[in-house]
Amino acid sequence: MKKIILTALISILTLPVFAAKVQEINIIPQPQKVEPSKGTFKVSGVSFNCSPDIDSLSKAKIMKFATRLSLRTGKTNSLAYPIGLEESLQNGKIKGFIFLKDSSMGEEEYSIDIQPKRTVVKAAGFKGYLYALETLRQLLPVEFNNDKEVAKVKWVVPCVKIEDKPRFAYRGLHLDCSRHFFEVSEVKKYLDIMALHKMNTLHWHLTDDQGWRLEIKKYPRLTEIGGFRNGTMVGKDFSSNDGVRYGGFYTQDQIKDIVKYAASLGITIIPEIDLPGHMIGALAAYPSLGCTGGPYEVAHVWGVMQDVLCPGKPATIKFLKDVLSEVVELFPSEYIHIGGDECPKVRWQECPDCQNLIKKLGLKSDEKHTAEQYLQSYVTSTVQKFLASKGRKIIGWDEILEGKLDPGATVMSWRGTKGGIAASKMGFDVIMTPTTYLYFDYAQSENPDSEPIAFPSKNLLDHVYSYEPFDGVSPEAQSHILGAQANLWTEYIPTNEQLEYMLLPRAAALSEIQWCKPEDKNWTRFRKSLEDFVKIYEACGYNYRKLD
108 and 191 part of one domain: no
Q: Please give the pLDDT value at position 136.
A: 98
Q: How far apart are CA 101 and CA 132, in angstroms?
A: 13
Q: Please give the pLDDT value at position 14.
A: 46
Q: Indicate whether 4 pLDDT > 90.
A: no
Instruction: Report the domain count for the chain.
Output: 2
Q: Please give the pLDDT value at position 21.
A: 73
The catalytic position among 174, 180, 197, 278 is: 278
118, 139, 164 - which closes a domain: 164
2 within domain boundaries? no
3-class DSSP assignment, residue 213: coil
Q: Indicate whether 378 pLDDT > 90.
A: yes
210 within domain boundaries? yes
70 within domain boundaries? yes
Range of the domain at 56: 19-164
Confidence bin at 498 (pLDDT 50/70/90): very high
151 and 203 part of one domain: no
- pLDDT 10s digits, 241-281: 999 999 999 999 999 999 999 999 999 999 999 999 999 99
74 and 134 part of one domain: yes
288 and 145 part of one domain: no
**Share of the chain residues as helix, strand and coil, in percent rounded to the nearest 5:** 40, 20, 40
CATH code for the domain in which residue 69 is found: 3.30.379.10
6 within domain boundaries? no
Q: Please give the pLDDT value at position 22.
A: 78
132 and 206 part of one domain: no
286 within domain boundaries? yes
Question: Which of 90-104, 349-363, 465-479 is predicted with the least confidence, judged by mean pLDDT?
Answer: 90-104
547 within domain boundaries? no
Identify whether 180 is a catalytic site residue: no
Q: Please give the pLDDT value at position 91.
A: 79
DSSP secondary structure code for residue 152 in this structure: T
Confidence bin at 519 (pLDDT 50/70/90): very high
Q: Please give the pLDDT value at position 93.
A: 80
pTM higher than 0.75: yes
* Whole-number percent of the chain with pLDDT over 90: 90
Q: Please give the pLDDT value at position 3.
A: 47
Q: How far apart are CA 414 and CA 489, in angstroms?
A: 12
What's the mean per-residue pLDDT of the chain?
A: 95
Q: Indicate whether 13 pLDDT > 60.
A: no
420 within domain boundaries? yes
Give residues with Cβ within 8 angstroms of 258, minimum separation 6.
184, 187, 188, 191, 250, 269
10 within domain boundaries? no
Q: Please give the pLDDT value at position 429.
A: 98
322 and 222 part of one domain: yes
The catalytic position among 176, 208, 215, 274 is: 208
113 and 176 part of one domain: no
Identify whether 402 is a catalytic site residue: no
Confidence bin at 430 (pLDDT 50/70/90): very high
Q: Indicate the residue type of 115.
A: Q
159 and 174 part of one domain: no
Q: How far apart are CA 339 and CA 337, in angstroms?
A: 6
164, 194, 222 - which closes a domain: 164
Q: Please give the pLDDT value at position 25.
A: 94
Q: Indicate whether 16 pLDDT > 70.
A: no
- The arithmetic mean of pLDDT across residues 384-408, rounded, is 98
CATH code for the domain in which residue 393 is found: 3.20.20.80
Closest CA to 206 of 172, 252, 238, 242: 252
Q: Indicate whether 152 pLDDT > 90.
A: no
Q: Indicate whether 344 pLDDT > 60.
A: yes
23 and 109 part of one domain: yes
382 and 479 part of one domain: yes
Identify whether 463 is a catalytic site residue: no
Query: What is the torsion angle, in degrees rounded to the nearest 10, for the CA atoms of residue 450, residue 454, residue 460 and residue 461?
Result: -100
144 and 276 part of one domain: no
Q: Looking at per-residue confidence, does 440 or 451 come out higher?
A: 440
164, 190, 208 - which closes a domain: 164
The catalytic position among 149, 163, 257, 342 is: 342
- The arithmetic mean of pLDDT across residues 112-139, rounded, is 98
29 and 67 part of one domain: yes
Q: Indicate whether 107 pLDDT > 60.
A: yes
3-class DSSP assignment, residue 3: helix
